[in-house]
Amino acid sequence: MEQGTFEVKVGLAEMLKGGVIMDVTNAEQAQIAEDAGAVAVMALERIPSDIRSDGGIARMSDPIMIKNIQKTVSIPVMAKCRIGHFAEAQILEALEVDFIDESEVLTPADDNNHIYKHDFKIPFVCGARNLGEALRRIGEGAAMIRTKGEAGSGNIVEAVRHMRSIINEINILSTLSQDQLMAQARDFQAPYLLVEQVAKIKKLPVPNFSAGGIATPADASLVMQLGAESVFVGSGIFKSEDPTSRAKAIVDSVTHYRDADKLAIASSGLKSAMKGLDISEIPEDQMLQERGW
Amino acid sequence: MVNRAGVLALQGNYNQHKRMLDVLGIKNILVQYPRELENCDLLIIPGGESTAISKQIERNNFRHPILNFAKTNSVFGTCAGMILLSSSEKATNLKPLSIMDFKVDRNAFGRQVDSFSGNLCLEFDNTDSFNGLFIRAPKISKLGKGIKILATYKKQPVMITNGRHFATTFHPEIGDDYRIHKHIMGKINE
C-alpha cells in the first residue's frame, strides 16, 4: 500500500473536475456551499476582498475554525498557507485538511522559495499566471494548478489573461520540435522534463483550474470554455447579496458551461453580485498576483 | 459487447473514462441530458464528489431516466458512481439510486491523507495484479443476494457485479491499465 504519492495526490484533483470550490469562513457558509453542490470548500478566516480592504498580514486560519468546518461537511476541506511557509503547511497536514493552497492571497513568508511540496502527504494547489510558473510549481510537487487571477477583485480579466496564457503556451509548445524544447525550458525557467511532457501530452500533467475574480455564472462559463477544468470562487459568493442562490447558480453553470439556455436560467433573478474593482484602481504594490515567482 | 457507452458528465472524472473508451475503440458520448441515454447500452457514472453528482442528477431530472435505463441496460459506477448505484440510506445531500443490492460507508478510510494505491486481485484475470487507486474511497459494508465479487484488496471486495451492473470502490479510469474497462465492455449484451 502506498500513500501520499504524486499519483494519489493528483487522483483527488481529478475528482474535483467539473465543479466549484468555494471560499467559506465558518461552518454555516460551508453548509451553504455543500447544499449548493460545491465539490470542496476552502476554509479561511477572511475572504480575499476583506483581506484586501483590511490590510495587515494575512496568515493561516485558526485550526478550530478549520476543524469546525471539517465536522460540518462531508466534501473535501482545503485551507491556505502562506507562500514558502512550510511550518503552516505542516500544521495543516496535522489537521488532515484534504488539500493545501499555497496562496498568494496570504502574505508571502518567503520572497524567494516556494514550499517543496513533495515532502508532504497532502496534495497542494498553487496559482500560476503562465505555463512557466505552472511548471515550476508542478516541479516542486503541486498536484493541481489554478490561475491566480486577481483575488478579491470580482474582476475576471486577470483570470482570463492567465488561462489564455497557459493554454496558448501549451499550444505553441506542442508545435515545437524536440531540439527547440531545451531553449524553451530555459525561457520558461521550468524543468526540462516537464516541458517535454507537456509538449507531448498537450496539457498540464495535473488538473488546471481557474481562480481569482469569478463572480457570476457567465464568468464561470467563460473560464471553463477557455480551458479551465473547475473553478474556485472566493469572494464572489459570500460577498454577493444572496449567497445561497448565487452558489447554486455558479455550480449549475459549471456543469452546463457550454449550454447558453441553461446559463440564462442560472443567471436569472440573482440579486447583486459583489461590487468588484477595476484592476487600475488597485495600487501596483497591492496586486496579489505579483506574489510568488 | 457494448455498442455505445455513455459517460455521465455532470461532475467528476468523466473525461478519463472517455479517454479509456476511446483507446479501446468503443463508441461513446458524454451524457449531459436524459435524452442522450436513448442510444446507449451502458452508462458509466464516474468518480467525483458523490453529493455534487447526486445534486446534479436530481436538478437535471436524471433520476427516473437512469432507473428506467438500468432496467434493460447496464450501469457501471466508480467510487462516487458506486455510492450512487448502491442501496445505502439517503443522507443529507445524497440520494443513492438503489440500482444494485449492496451498501457502502462513504469516506470509510478517512480523509485524503488516508487515500492510497494498492495491488488488487482480479477474479477474471490472474496474469498480474491491478494497481487500484483509492481516493477518499467508500467501503462495501453489506452485500445483497446475487452479488458476485470481481476484485478484492486484502481479501475485501472492491469490485462487484450483479450480472448486469458493475461497481468499483477505486478508480480504474486512472492510469494505463485498460483491463477492467475491457472486461466490462465485453460483458455487455453477452
What tens digit of pLDDT does each residue of B79-108 get?
999 999 999 999 989 999 999 999 999 999
Q: B117: distance to nearest CA of chain A, Å? A: 5
Please answer yes or no on whether A15 and B9 come within 8 Å at the CB atom. Answer: no
Check residue B190 and give its pLDDT: 85
B129 touches chain A (CB under 8 A): no
Residue-wise pLDDT for A68-105, tens only, equals 999 999 999 999 999 999 999 999 999 999 999 999 99
Window 57-86 of B, Cβ < 8 Å to A: 59-60, 79-80
**Against a cut of 0.95, is the pTM above it?**
yes
* Residue A250 sits at the chain B interface (C-beta within 8 Å): no
Contact B17, B175 (CB under 8 A): no
What mean pLDDT comes out for the span A178-197? 97
Contacts of B78 in chain A (CB under 8 A): none
* Strands (DSSP E) found in A191-230: 208-209
Domain that holds residue B54: 5-189
pLDDT of residue A285: 86
Residue B168, domain CATH: 3.40.50.880
Residue A168, all three cell numbers: 496558448
Backbone phi, psi, residue A256, to 5° = -115, 50
pLDDT tens digit sequence for A205-231:
999 999 999 999 999 999 999 999 999
Q: Torsion-angle region of residue B150: left (phi > 0), alpha (psi -120 to 50) or beta? A: alpha
Separation in Å, CA of A233 to nearest CA in chain B: 16
pLDDT category of residue B31 using cuts at 50, 70 and 90 = very high
DSSP secondary structure of B53-92: HHHHHHHTT-HHHHHHHHHHSEEEEETHHHHHHS-PPPBT
Q: Tell me how many domains chain B contains.
A: 1
Give the pLDDT of residue A293. Answer: 84
Q: What is the mean pLDDT of residues A165-175?
A: 98
Q: Does A273 score more than 90 pLDDT?
A: no
Please identify which of the residues A80, A148, A239, A248 carries the catalytic annotation.
A80
B190/chain A closest Cα distance in angstroms: 31
